[in-house]
Amino acid sequence: MDYSKNFYQIKSNEEIFYKVSLEKNTVGYYDLPFQDTSEFKEYAKTVTQQDIVVVGIGGSSLGTYAIHKFLQHKENMKKLHFLESTDPLDLERRISKLDLNDTLFIIISKSGTTIETVSILKYLSSITMLDKSNTICITESDSKLNTYAKTNDMKTFEIPKNVGGRFSVFTAVGLVTMAIMGLDIDRILFGCQTIYNDYFNRGDYYTSIMEKARFIVENKNRFNINVVFSYSSLLEGFNKWYVQLWGESLGKININQTKQALTPIALTGPVDQHSFLQLIMEGKRDKTITFIKVADFENELTIPDVSLPGLEELDYINNIKFKNLINEQADATIEAIQNLKDIPCDIITIEAQDEYNIGKLMYSYELLTSIVGSFVQINTYDQPGVEAGKIILKDKLKKKI
């Protein structure tokens, strides 16, 4: 396929591999797959509450939400809730669903001073007694939130300083909650290890991720929108996490003072086949598409062999399993796009909806983000644009006092 390439001193795979390997000394997320998880699992065994509430925003919430959405069918009977937004109606509605006498609050903030998280924490402390029996904090060791937790003798878990918020899902940030919900967190990390080992030993994954990253970067001026099109509703959380990871990591000014504009969009099939697909098919050729399919949903739900009066002509769908239907829908969309021959697309197939596979998928996206960040020569791990808004907000709110 001939995509007009737009090179700007793109480094070789060798240079990028070297740079990413060097980063391992300073960027903490790379080695998380090999950590000891016993503290998280031991703590999880002690949790008796039925309602589990994650209070956090952005990187302190989205990764956990992504795994939860994907693996809800494997969780125990506890109910997991997320308090993230300051929307008062949403907040009240979510809190009204809790049995406050049987709730564990997990307050997560790396900085420990995020307005959304702290305002919700304050509100919670006004409606119920927060103490060591029902509240834990996950934060950096020297944050103000850590001081709050220690003052109240609450259990804390540490977020390593060298792991950024949106790369922190495989720290206590995600793993403590997942362990409480009964998921096998070692299998999640085993999925990450598979990707890590393959990449750093230059296996098949190394080859394919380099090819993908290189294509995205070499063609970024023409195809500057990177669509993830997930054919499973259970990947909606992953989609949100991807948008944050890609946008907040890659949307910034590089060392040559050029603004990078790789723009993430996340769609869910088949629903978005009936909306955004039109724009992909007939709109501007500025998008790469990555389809994510689930090979086996391990569910036998079937369209019954019934004929409905007036709808007889649709009887050809009788006896089709829904898991086959959704994959046929994905394949039909992929074929329609491939027939056009001018929209780059690739396919990721997830073998099963389990811990191992979500670990693999999320870790591979973290790695892809780091590699693309190295190619476009930016600091993948900071977020000055987000920080700017936080500073203005704090100033505005202080002036009101």
Known catalytic residues are: 248, 274, 390
DSSP state of 343: S
Does residue 109 belong to the site contacting ligand PA5 (CB under 6 A)?
Answer: yes
CB 223 within 8 A of CB 3: yes
**DSSP sequence for 289-338:** EEEEEES------B--S---TT-GGGGGGTT-BHHHHHHHHHHHHHHHHH
Q: Which is nearer to ligand PA5, 165 or 264 (CB)?
A: 165
Alpha-carbon span 266 to 253, nearest angstrom: 23
Stretch that binds ligand PA5, among 7-15, 158-166, 233-241, 332-340 (CB under 6 A): 158-166
Query: Residue 387 contacts by C-beta under 8 Å, 6 or more apart in sequence?
Result: none
Q: Which is nearer to ligand PA5, 159 or 350 (CB)?
A: 159
CB of 242 vs ligand PA5, minimal distance in Å: 13
Binder of ligand PA5 out of 69, 166, 214, 323 (CB under 6 A): 166
CB 162 within 8 A of CB 27: yes
Sole residue written with tokens 């898991």: 323
For residues 356-375, which are near ligand PA5 according to CB under 6 A?
A: none
CB of 124 vs ligand PA5, minimal distance in Å: 16
Does residue 165 belong to the site contacting ligand PA5 (CB under 6 A)?
Answer: yes
Stretch that binds ligand PA5, among 103-111, 205-213, 277-285, 300-308 (CB under 6 A): 103-111
Stretch that binds ligand PA5, among 53-61, 89-97, 99-107, 197-205 (CB under 6 A): 53-61
Alpha-carbon span 212 to 346, nearest angstrom: 9
Does residue 57 belong to the site contacting ligand PA5 (CB under 6 A)?
Answer: yes
Q: Which is nearer to ligand PA5, 69 or 166 (CB)?
A: 166
* List of E strands, 146-203: 155-158
Does residue 110 belong to the site contacting ligand PA5 (CB under 6 A)?
Answer: yes
**DSSP sequence for 91-127:** HHHHHHTS-GGGEEEEEEESSS--HHHHHHHHHHHHH
Q: Which is nearer to ligand PA5, 110 or 220 (CB)?
A: 110
Reported as type and span, the H/E element at residue 259 is none
Q: Which is nearer to ligand PA5, 130 or 350 (CB)?
A: 130
Our measurement of the distance from residue 313's CA atom to the centroid of its chain's CA atoms, rounded to an integer in Å, reads: 42
Does residue 214 belong to the site contacting ligand PA5 (CB under 6 A)?
Answer: no
Other CB atoms within a 10 A radius of the CB of residue 78 amount to 17
Alpha-carbon span 190 to 204, nearest angstrom: 18
Alpha-carbon span 67 to 238, nearest angstrom: 7
Does residue 59 belong to the site contacting ligand PA5 (CB under 6 A)?
Answer: yes
For residues 280-309, which are near ligand PA5 according to CB under 6 A?
A: none
Does residue 164 belong to the site contacting ligand PA5 (CB under 6 A)?
Answer: yes
CB of 264 vs ligand PA5, minimal distance in Å: 14
CB of 316 vs ligand PA5, minimal distance in Å: 47
Q: Quote the tokens at residue 77.
A: 């009977």
Stretch that binds ligand PA5, among 78-86, 161-169, 214-222, 273-281 (CB under 6 A): 161-169
For residues 380-399, which are near ligand PA5 according to CB under 6 A?
A: 383, 386
Stretch that binds ligand PA5, among 3-11, 83-91, 109-117, 233-241 (CB under 6 A): 109-117
Does residue 260 belong to the site contacting ligand PA5 (CB under 6 A)?
Answer: no
CA angle 13, 16, 21 (to 5 degrees): 125
Contact set with ligand PA5 (CB under 6 A): 57-60, 109-111, 114, 117, 164-166, 248, 383, 386
